[in-house]
Structure 1
Amino acid sequence: MSTISFTGNEQTYMEGSIAFLKSNMSVIQGTGYLTSNRFVFCKRSGLGNALLGPILMHFTKGKTILFEIELSDISSIGAVKHGLTKKYVFKTKRDESYAIQFATKKDNWLNSIKEAVKRNNPNIEIKSIGDLIEFL
């Protein structure tokens, strides 16, 4: 695991609190970063979460990368019911999947991801059907 850093020409479009749903019993709080090249999830330190509690922890940023997905590698994003809310499952062209929940601004995140993928590859076709976004 490495610490988040950005290359010289990489722009950050969005960042905010999200949760990575590693499994049904494992939820990791952290920060999501959408850049001109990738979507990155960084976990917050466990000690920081414990000391700050569930409300104040959203004011700290995760710095340790748990996963990153190149924008050109995203094949789809689909919403799946998860308890009282929805989780968003990112699928890659290499058959990997990552389930996350956005703390706030879900629509802003999804629209920004679509725009970033389109900027990264102007020839890509983006198809939205209900809660499924496909990148063809």
Structure 2
Amino acid sequence: MPKKRKNRGRHKGDKGKEPMVYCDNCGKLVPRSKAVRVTVPYSPVPGDLARELEKQGAIVPRYYVTKTYCINCAIYLGILKVRSEDERKRKIASARPLVRRETVAAPPATKPAQTQPPTQPTQQGNEGAQTKS
């Protein structure tokens, strides 16, 4: 039977067993390498009250909470998107914007043209290079 994914949907490779973690949404046991981890900021103060307190100069604490989801919950919550087979097999990262090489490599149009002829090399550095005939 053919495999759908080369890495069998996990990052472990050929390392044997690995710890299992619980999904924070549904409670399913998932291999740690297969779980999706998301770090989100959490503030115990509501947003509108926090803005007013910050205007007055108060410091509002923000805590970073790491949540662990199974694949099903991550797709359901919109953290991951369903990708086609071609996108799954592509090696480049889809989150990174592509840079066009024409715009990067093109010389600037406002560069002034050189009007001076190239200068002759001095005799100091090239003493051994010239031979007398």
Q: TM-score range by the shorter chain?
A: under 0.3
Structure number with greater CO (CA < 8 Å, separation at least 6) is 1
Report which of the two structures shows the higher radius of gyration computed on alpha carbons. 2
- Decide which structure has greater helix share: 1
- Relative to the length of structure 1, the TM-score reads 0.24
More strand by share: 1
